[in-house]
Amino acid sequence: MPHLTTADNTRIFYKDWGQGQPIVFHHGWPLTADDWDTQLQFFLLQGYRVIAHDRRGHGRSSQTSGGHEMDTYVADVNALADHLDLRDAVHVGHSTGGGEVAHYVAQAKPGRVAKAVLIGAVPPIMVQSERNPGGTPKAVFDGFRQQLAAGRATFYREVPIPFYGFNRDGAPVEQGVVDNWWRQGMMGAINAHYDCIKAFSETDFTEDLKKIDVPVLVMHGDDDQIVPIADSAELAIKLLRHGTLKIYPGYPHGMCTTHAEVINGDLLAFIRG
């Protein structure tokens, strides 16, 4: 399996398939590059080069004792972009990966990035504060950490239910999807997942969003129970210079899986446009 070794000797696993313009996919917490399987196959068949990596501490990448914060995550992405010499790439990030995309694109080397996409993404900032009164109280994230530390295997059976909207009336539970979420989560390191909760909830991406000068598509379901739209996409779009917001009525946080056909089509239209 392909890996690159970063400056601090962390091995980052990545997939790199196909030819053409590169599309780089950034996964959410606590998942892996596998969460993008449907998109990877779709865009591979459309003639694109598709790339996805496992964030450090996740999946098949090194289980490091530190570095589980956004600056180091983006340093790893920079290392990947240099290693593969990516040019005019489209960076697509879901949830935590959307924060990673915003932080990376805001500081990327000239010529590296053509466009960006934020899907159900955490920017500008999730946690509630005086500056962000509509945010999620820190106690909620403290509860995530407590449940993770007390019993990760059980917690990771519970999270996918609201993640994919399977708790809504009339929504059947797709057990294979739940099992795949659990499988990916359990591949990673508990310390990395614990620390990543702070990274995705408390990192302020406001200045990153303001700096981005390439076209950005912001995609969000208005029934997202994990990253509420009112305190994420609806605020992020106001900070972007060249942003387009597309809202999906009734769609959940995991809409790339539950509504892949729609999301893939809209992604393709944006990339080609």
Contact 76, 68 (CB under 8 A): no
Told to judge if 95 belongs to the known catalytic residues of this protein, a careful annotator would answer yes
The pLDDT of 249-272, averaged and rounded, is 98
pLDDT in tens, 115-167: 999 999 999 999 999 999 999 999 999 999 999 999 999 999 999 999 999 99
CATH number of the domain at 239, please. Answer: 3.40.50.1820
Residue 88: phi and psi, rounded to 5, are: 50, 40
CA 222, CA 130: separation in Å to the nearest integer? Answer: 24
CA distances from 80 to 14, 71, 268 (A): 9, 14, 23
Catalytically annotated residue among 35, 54, 76, 224: 224
pLDDT given at position 1: 80
Residues 21-30 pLDDT 10s: 999 999 999 9
CB-CB contact of 104 with 91 (8 Å): yes
Q: Of 61, 62, 95, 201, which residue is the catalytic one?
A: 95
CA proximity to 59, closest of 253, 160, 175, 193: 193
CB 27 within 8 A of CB 94: yes
pLDDT tens, residue by residue, 144-153: 999 999 999 9
pLDDT band at 72 (very low <50, low <70, confident <90, very high): very high
For 18: left if phi > 0, alpha if psi spans -120 to 50, otherwise beta; the answer is left
Q: Give the number of domains in the chain.
A: 1
Q: Is the pLDDT of residue 17 over 90?
A: yes
Residue 96 structural domain: 3-272
Q: pTM of the prediction? A: 0.98
The interaxial angle of helices 70-84 and 96-105, nearest 10 deg, is 70
Clarify whether 76 is annotated catalytic.
no
Decide if 213 is catalytic: no
